[in-house]
Homo-oligomer: A and B are copies of this chain.
Amino acid sequence: MTLHQRHNYPGKLVVVEGVDGSGKSTQLNLLRNWLEDRGQKVIFTQWNSSKLISKTIKDAKRNNSLIPVTFSLLHATDFADRLENIIKPALKAGLTVLADRYCYTAFARDAARGVDKDWLRNLYGFAIKPDAAFYFQVPIEVSLERIASSREPGFYESGMDIGLSNDPRQSFQIFQSRVISEYDGMVQEYGLNLMAATAPIHEQQVLFRQKVGHLFLQR
């Protein structure tokens, strides 16, 4: 199984991707409610949330002691653990798995930190192809505005760890622009569904439901 080959499990794997402030989590939560209302059994899994490793990642971030490759490996470990213990068992049991971020997040963020793209793609060579992956695309200004309205951009979120600029706002702009550019390239490479994340929330959700709904009609 790879990212380029359909899995054979009875369940469905739906993935959302995009920079912080793209609204992807909001959309996924609305979708979740809709699916549950329609009687679908849904499992939700988030980037960086495995019991095995998420504390280690948090500690390491606090100490700012790691280089990008080590972070990549930590995130891949988290992903492998969730894939094996959450995602695959749910798919085997015929459930719908909603993933808030998938390995495309690593491909975008880690590459933006200068990690080799081919190395990253091999690293996640054990991943399974989602039934549908949605990329919520926003211009960098919108992302920054949405985040800044509620909080300061984080140290890692702004790529401050790789020394792009001492100004958090400027660093965010440079770093997240790189992330967006990596995502944009993956639309073609992995057949991501492009979502215009500047459209009204309701409009996006209607489209999102249509596209996900199709997955259940295919059988």
Binds B, one of A98-106, A115-123, A160-168: A115-123
Flag if B52 contacts A56 (CB, 8 Å): yes
Decide if A148 is an interface residue (CB 8 Å cutoff): no
Tell whether A196 is near chain B: CB-to-CB under 8 Å.
Answer: no
Bound complex: CA A125 to CA B126 (Å) = 17
- Expressed in whole angstroms, the minimum distance between the Cβ of A52 and any Cβ of chain B is 6
The answer, yes or no, to whether A77 is at the interface (CB within 8 Å) is yes
User: How many interface residues does A have (CB within 8 Å)?
Assistant: 24
Question: Which residues of B are found within 8 Å of A123, using beta-carbon distances?
Answer: 122-123
A213 to chain B, nearest CB (A): 33
Considering the complex, give the chain B residue whose CB is closest to the CB of A67.
Answer: B84
15 contacts between A and B (CB under 8 A): A52-B65, A52-B66, A56-B56, A65-B85, A67-B80, A67-B84, A70-B80, A70-B81, A70-B84, A73-B73, A73-B80, A118-B122, A119-B125, A122-B123, A123-B123
Majority secondary structure of chain A interface residues (helix, strand, loop or mixed): helix
**A66 / chain B contacts, CB cutoff of 8 Å:** 52, 81, 84
Chain B residues, CB < 8 A from A125: 116, 119
Smallest distance from the beta carbon of A47 to chain B beta carbons, Å?
A: 15
Contact of A126 among B56, B65, B69, B84 (CB under 8 A): B69
* Residues of chain B with a CB closer than 8 A to A76's CB: 73
Q: Tell me if A74 is interfacial: C-beta within 8 Å of chain B.
A: yes
A30 within 8 A of B: no
